[in-house]
Amino acid sequence: MNISVIIPLLNEAESLSELHAWIKRVLDQAKLSYEIIFIDDGSTDDSWVIIEKLKTTHPEVKGIRFRRNYGKSAALNEGFALAQGDSVFTMDADLQDSPDELPAMHAQLWEDNYDLISGWKKKRYDPITKTLPTKLYNWATRRMSGIYLHDFNCGLKVYRNEVVKNIEVYGEMHRYIPVMAHRAGFKRIGEKVVIHQSRKYGETKFGLSRFIRGPLDLLSIIFVSKFGKRPMHFFGLGGALAFLIGFFLTAYVLMDKLIALQSGVRQSLVTDNPLFYLALVMLIIGTQLFMGGFLAEMLSRNAPNRNKYEISERLGFE
């Protein structure tokens, strides 16, 4: 199969039939084999009823229905697990992503030997309350991840099947799939300017809270991918530095007191010196960080996937 199109949705009943017809027309004209996987993320409208009706007359349609709303990441993760196409597309169900882009992106993925291609909504039809925070979010993500994409949050992306089978999307991590893929060893990441259309039905399901959760999720990805198998390298280093600072501050306070006593100079109590409390705090923090790293290392060494590594190819083995 050439293409899998994964469409997570929440209360998008008005647009589903139109979206399906648009995708079908484009891919049939391009003579590509495909499947369309709708993932109903706990909709309370007639979205699932429409998906069932589409399935009765269109064998390419497949559907998953969550009992409640789990979020876009959970929907994508389920879709990735079931996708059979060589190229796996993700797109939103609100008709703001154009299916006309699919054949060109599919061809570019394989002709230019990319692992994934991210859409770039260069011209957006969103209010400034959404576009301005998005620009700031994309700038911060580029700086923190080292991946220079213009639009990380664009719903229209295409991946080689092996990419989506080697990453796990959870929480709010769907915004950072290119970052996770890059950390998993898929370095060939491309970008394509895509058409962005104004929303035709309903209203957006995403609030400003995503701009608070987003940076925290990015930090989690970077930390886990870098230190997940060696947490002591992070916590132990921080703990050792904090402990050494506390140790030297303590030594300085005590030496200062001893020198004053030897010289017969009247001096206040050690506990009246602010450096004493700073030294005490640094010693405690250093000890806690070191012990936290030690415990995390113990858990990591005993984890069932401690020696699980992503291998792209094998040669000379049955």
pLDDT in tens, 105-137: 999 999 999 999 999 988 776 665 666 667 777
* Average pLDDT of the residues in 188-216: 71
Q: Please state, rounded to an integer, the average pLDDT across all residues of the chain.
A: 83
Write down the pLDDT at residue 139: 79
Residue 39 near residue 75, CB atoms below 8 Å: yes
- The C-alpha atoms of residue 305 and residue 183 are separated, in whole angstroms, by 17
* Average pLDDT of the residues in 205-234: 64
* Average pLDDT of the residues in 10-39: 95
164-191: buried (b, 16+ CB within 10 Å) or exposed (e) per residue? bebbebeebbbbbbbbbbbbbebeebbb
* Average pLDDT of the residues in 238-263: 85
- The C-alpha atoms of residue 18 and residue 16 are separated, in whole angstroms, by 5
pLDDT at 189 over 70: yes
Q: Which of 101-105, 153-157, 197-201, 254-258 has the highest mean pLDDT?
A: 101-105
* Average pLDDT of the residues in 138-158: 84
pLDDT at 31 over 50: yes
Write down the pLDDT at residue 272: 76
Torsion 152-217-96-22 (CA) sign:
positive
Write down the pLDDT at residue 138: 78
Torsion angles phi and psi, residue 68, rounded to 5: -145, 175
pLDDT at 228 over 70: no
Which residue stretches of the chain are H helix?
13-29, 47-57, 72-82, 102-111, 128-145, 161-164, 177-183, 210-227, 232-263, 274-301
* Average pLDDT of the residues in 35-50: 94
Question: Angle formed by the axes of helices 274-301 and 232-263, to 10°?
Answer: 160
Residue 262 CB partners (closer than 8 Å, separation 6+): none
pLDDT at 206 over 80: no
pLDDT band at 307 (very low <50, low <70, confident <90, very high): very low
Residue 163 near residue 115, CB atoms below 8 Å: yes
pLDDT band at 19 (very low <50, low <70, confident <90, very high): very high
The amino acid that residue 281 corresponds to is V
Write down the pLDDT at residue 13: 92
Residue 96 near residue 12, CB atoms below 8 Å: no
Write down the pLDDT at residue 315: 46
pLDDT band at 164 (very low <50, low <70, confident <90, very high): very high
Of the listed ranges 17-21, 22-26, 37-41, 273-277, the one predicted with least confidence: 273-277
* Average pLDDT of the residues in 249-264: 82
* Average pLDDT of the residues in 19-35: 96
A 10 A CB-CB count for 117 gives 27
